[in-house]
Structure 1
Amino acid sequence: MTDLSWEQKADAYSLYGFTDLPSVHDRGAVVVTHGEGPYIFDTQGRKYLDANSGLWNMVAGFDHPGLIAAAQAQYARFSGYHAFFGRMSDQTVLLSEKLVEVSPFDRGRVFYTNSGSEANDTMVKMLWFLHAAEGKPQRRKILTRMNAYHGVTAVSASMTGKPYNSVFGLPLPGFIHLSCPHYWRFGQEGETEEQFTARMAAELEATILKEGADTIAAFFAEPVMGAGGVIPPSKGYFQAVAPILRKYGIPLISDEVICGFGRTGNTWGCETYDFMPDAIISSKNLTAGLFPMGTVILGPDLADRMQAAVETIEEFPHGFTASGHPVGCAIALKAIDVVMNEGLAENVNRLAPRLEAGLAEIAQNPNIGELRGVGYMWALEAVKDRATKTPFDGSLSVSERIANTCTDMGLICRPLGQSVVLCPPFILTEPQMDEMFEKLDKALKKVFAEVA
């Protein structure tokens, strides 16, 4: 077996997740060796501009010297510890203070996990815990939306409104998926965007009344649905749903795993869409992809209620061995500084209009039905017929073909449904952006010529 190629070894010994297996069988895996700036290199020496920032998260590129130095220094100083039994590293304490400082909350508390999935799962357990402590153990139902993505643990996958989870027998009971607030795809004939938003809000209130407000633990929402295909909310969506949730005493949890720390053009997606959540879920950009970490950031009300619930039994019986890891926290502290103070956030705000304009020009292609997004997260929706919004036949695997063609041209993008997603690193320069436009445009024209 030692004579196998890198690609053959990957296929022989690895079980792929979220991977189109026909593409791997036909083309082989891409085995990556290193990265420079926004580029990655494979075992064949091929160079790719990664317009997906790894998996949304490598916002400072793949070899940022300051982040690497922060990791090395902390490994040399204190290489690992936990956050149990009232003991945690100084870096963990400093990061908790920083996260509350940069959050939209005037005060709060932070709990650490190893991923966004675990953070969403933890938030659900927190809600079940505190509702039971407050004498309302029946408040267990979780509201999310179709096409939402909240993770892959049994609980967070139950929150994720994607049909593929049915293969696991999910969702679990008590997880309710409301309509996806995607006006372009789901607006009714003659319905304005404002009317569509009102319909979404009416559906939320009707669901609350049907299920019983005293049975609902919380409403979780991504400011922009990321893995659902980069779907911004319809106009005024959060301004319509937030008062309804407040009316019935239902916490609003902002899942900022993708949106947080600059992806939408502000530190938080809830700032971009002007709503105040009760808690924030963070991961990905938090460590610029250099360390697996997730956090639950509780706002004042939930922080106080959670602390009171914990006091009743003298502990919160939940946690992870590596959560609050000192190296991860040191990296996160540096990553926040890099994004907010070393020009990355400024670069996003400066070049986001250029990114949108370049993609809008590409979207003039008659087989692009919609360009949607905000900041540094965008999607192009492929259609067979733009006027009717008719998608291509699923058997054509159009978005997968586009992504594979881009890969052949040295560009990494992501297929999602019938869409192609681009979420470039925050360090992207104007020439690199032009390179992305050129390769994407060529790939689209090539594939559409084959299938249209």
Structure 2
Amino acid sequence: MPNDRPNSWDRRAEAHTLYGFTDLPTIAARGTVVVERGEGPYIVDTEGRRYLDANSGLWNMVAGFDNPVLAKAASDQYAKLGGYHAFFGRMSDQTVMLSEKLVELSPFDRGRVFYTNSGSEANDTLVKMLWFLAGAEGQPQRRKIITRTGGYHGVTAVSASMTGKPYNSVFGLPMPGFIHVGCPHYWRFGQEGETEAQFTTRLAQELEATILAEGPDTIAAFVAEPVMGAGGVIPPSAGYFQAIQPILKRHGIPLISDEVICGFGRTGAMWGCETYDFVPDAIIASKALTAGYFPMGAVILGPELSDRIHTASEAIEEFPHGFTASGHPVGCAIALASIGLIEGGLGENVRALTPAFEAGLARLAEHPNIGEWRGKGLMGALEAVQDKATKTPFAGNLSVSERIANACTDHGLICRPLGQSIVLCPPFICTEAHLEEMFGKLEDALKQVFAEVA
């Protein structure tokens, strides 16, 4: 229940803060959880309640909520150079070192990095880069961006147009020229009698038909998450990227890997594109880049796009785009420390925990009201269904996933409702004991809610 004490934290939050992506009936009924401090993978609220955060904050706090290495990196850099920009031929030494490191980590033998403050801004920047390039190379009509239904790419006007979610219609989005093709979720969208291989072939054929219908010379890029994150943790159908990449190459369309969630180890490899064995033309990064300790995003350009954009910029003497905090020295110092932690053991811990994580998901998926478990690395989802045999979802007005998430909160566990799914993406610092706690509390919540609605 909401805290009705005068001047309580949740009353103050309600009075002065506009909530984003928040179920307002839940706030009205339960109040706001105001977080005071972190303890490893746990958060502690202002009432002293402790929660295991199986969401890693928002996919990003992979090193936990009070990591001393990241705190020291920030403190040391603040004492040395507390802020600077990356305009006018000036940038910090930390920015230079991070760019070198990101290109080294990338699947590219060379390239360039452009910094933003978020993944949304990175996707927005990428589109501006492609539009700039099209005009500079005498193809001003090449402006259309293809993404997938259910994919998530951000909240700016451009990145929200890329996002294949129906809620963006309240903003009058997507803008013209943003095209959404089929979601590669075989369990949900495969046709009766269709094998997974046939499903993949059908999606590839749909993509090519869309390209031909729109005109190949009007399309600037195809942008895809290796695993759809905010779409409900949807790995691609088998062979998906191997089926679509030749089509894109044939029509001269860049393939951009949106690694905002997948990047820096979440899928078990450094990049999701490595997990699914494809090399994109550019990578969009954020979230685990700084382990959530500083707002930062990056566009990592492969050699071809890097060369072409550099040539186009030289022709007009600059690339006319940037942000005040792009390449912030403190953010870059934290990012270098975060990457050091991932390379120094956290990435290996993801791989070591993955079998136990998958086994826990599979065990809970035996419940008659869980239709599917899915995931890759330390990102997974359980899809709630009213009828398992027919894959029939619960009625929307039952708010089943929201109720499960609320019940989890009552048990001291933070997880995320997405559509009819419950999403788990625990921090990389977790142990098997943390996973056991997570699945135990989630199981209790599932039993409670399904007993109420099934």
Assess same fold via TM > 0.5.
yes
Residue of 236, 252, 260 corresponding to 1:249: 252
Partner of 1:78: 81
Residue of 342, 345, 352 corresponding to 1:350: 352
Give the secondary-structure state (helix, strand or coil) at the position aligned to 1:87: coil
Partner of 1:223: 226
Tell whether 2:353 aligns with 1:366.
no
Give the secondary-structure state (helix, strand or coil) at the position aligned to 1:310: helix
Mapping of residues 177-326 of structure 1, within 5 Å: 177-326=180-329
Partner of 1:21: 24
Post-superposition shift, 1:87? 0.3
Mapping of residues 67-216 of structure 1, within 5 Å: 67-216=70-219
Task: Output one character per residue of 1:370-406: Cα deviation in whole Å (capped at 9) or x when no partner.
Answer: 0001000000000000000000000000000000000
Give the secondary-structure state (helix, strand or coil) at the position aligned to 2:32: coil
Identity of aligned residues (%): 76
Partner of 1:428: 430
Amino acid at match of 2:182: S
Partner of 1:58: 61
Amino acid at match of 1:236: G
Give the secondary-structure state (helix, strand or coil) at the position aligned to 1:424: coil
Give the secondary-structure state (helix, strand or coil) at the position aligned to 1:54: helix
Post-superposition shift, 1:2? 10
Task: Output one character per residue of 1:106-138: Cα deviation in whole Å (capped at 9) or x when no partner.
Answer: 000000000000000000000000111111010
Post-superposition shift, 1:358? 1.3
Tell whether 2:378 aligns with 1:376.
yes
**In structure 1, how many angstroms separate the alpha carbons of the residues matched to 2:381 and 2:56?**
14
Superposed CA RMSD in Å reads 0.9
**In structure 1, how many angstroms separate the alpha carbons of the residues matched to 2:226 and 2:327?**
26
Give the secondary-structure state (helix, strand or coil) at the position aligned to 1:80: coil
**In structure 2, how many angstroms separate the alpha carbons of the residues matched to 1:437 and 1:219?**
37
Give the secondary-structure state (helix, strand or coil) at the position aligned to 1:295: strand
Give the secondary-structure state (helix, strand or coil) at the position aligned to 2:75: helix
Give the secondary-structure state (helix, strand or coil) at the position aligned to 2:153: coil
Post-superposition shift, 1:407? 0.2
**In structure 2, how many angstroms separate the alpha carbons of the residues matched to 1:278 and 1:407?**
41
**In structure 1, how many angstroms separate the alpha carbons of the residues matched to 2:325 and 2:39?**
28
**In structure 2, how many angstroms separate the alpha carbons of the residues matched to 1:255 and 1:144?**
10
Partner of 1:409: 411
Post-superposition shift, 1:104? 0.5
Aligned CA distance change for structure 1 residues 213 and 405 (closer, same or farther; 3 Å): same
Per the normalisation by structure 2, the TM-score is: 0.99
Task: Output one character per residue of 1:62-100: Cα deviation in whole Å (capped at 9) or x when no partner.
Answer: 011111000000000000000000100000000000000
Post-superposition shift, 1:363? 1.0
Give the secondary-structure state (helix, strand or coil) at the position aligned to 1:296: strand
Amino acid at match of 2:447: K
Post-superposition shift, 1:225? 0.3
Post-superposition shift, 1:3? 3.8
Residue of 419, 422, 425 corresponding to 2:421: 419
When the two structures are aligned, how many residues end up with a matched partner? 451
Gaps of 5+ in 1: none
**In structure 2, how many angstroms separate the alpha carbons of the residues matched to 1:358 and 1:173?**
43
Amino acid at match of 1:399: S
Partner of 1:446: 448
Give the secondary-structure state (helix, strand or coil) at the position aligned to 2:354: helix
Residue of 392, 395, 403 corresponding to 2:394: 392
Task: Output one character per residue of 1:150-188: Cα deviation in whole Å (capped at 9) or x when no partner.
Answer: 000000000000000000000000000001110000000
Give the secondary-structure state (helix, strand or coil) at the position aligned to 1:388: coil
Partner of 1:328: 331
